Amino acid sequence: MLLPIVQVGEPVLRQKARLLRPNEIRSKEIRELIAAMKATMRAAPGVGLAAPQIGRNLQLAVIEDRPDYTKDWTAEQLKAREREIIAFHVIINPKLTLVGDKRIEFFEGCLSLNNLMAIVPRAHHVKVECVDEKGEKRVIDASGWYARILQHEIGHLHGEIYIDHMYPRTLMTVENYKQHWLDKSVAEIKKALRAEE
């Protein structure tokens, strides 16, 4: 079953989501919610979906970066973004730690801000302590694109959206990005748009 994805302006997107209790995590309701979120994320398509995005104020997100999302990308593009296939998984009650001072800048979009994107600086390396859908503890050590996805989705669980971290002058529609900026580097785009003014 596909779920409606709420759009920016919905109060749930700006609230801190509540922790799931241990007895809830393996419940039938949460299993069904995870299955519906997985289907919704894939249909969108997206690489992550947090429970607040479907109107549920819970610290739960699903993540997956499928090979078909980047099938037309060059090896150079994949390397520049440090983007690799990420198998489907669930994070519940995550605690995010930024590792080191290195930051990377790339465009981000969000299923709750349809058809928009902007350059967002993010930590290059993160550690996430969480539990999975079986209630088992997990520690995720991630860098590059995977670290970006984790920061984006965990941000949703704390009432944050990528626009809170973006360079405001780089906000654009996906169509305008493809028409005017696709062949430019992030540095060139930031300079042309005077992003750091």
The model's confidence at residue 13, banded by pLDDT at 50, 70 and 90, is very high
In a domain, 86, yes or no: yes
Is residue 157 packed enough to be buried (19+ CB in 10 Å), middle (13-18) or exposed (0-12)? buried
- Active site annotation includes 153: yes
In a domain, 173, yes or no: no
pTM of the model as a whole: 0.95
In a domain, 129, yes or no: yes
Mean pLDDT of the chain: 95
- The one catalytic residue in 129, 133, 153, 175 is 153
In a domain, 177, yes or no: no
Q: What is the pLDDT of residues 24-50, one digit of tens each?
A: 999 999 999 999 999 999 999 999 999
121, two tokens? 């600086």
Distance, in Å, from the CA atom of 174 to the CA atom of 181, rounded to the nearest integer, reads 10
In a domain, 64, yes or no: yes
Residues facing 194 on adjacent strands: none
- Domain hosting 56: range is 11-109+122-166
CATH of the domain at 97: 3.90.45.10
Compute the radius of gyration of the chain from its Cα atoms: 17
Q: Is 135 in contact with 22 (CB distance < 8 Å)? A: yes
pLDDT value at 164 more than 90: yes
pLDDT value at 64 more than 90: yes
DSSP 43-87: HTT-SEEEGGGGT--BSEEEEEE-GGGGTT--HHHHHHHT---EE
In a domain, 138, yes or no: yes
Specify the DSSP element, H or E, that contains 25.
helix 22-25
If one counts the domains in the chain, the total is 1
Distance, in Å, from the CA atom of 149 to the CA atom of 99, rounded to the nearest integer, reads 15
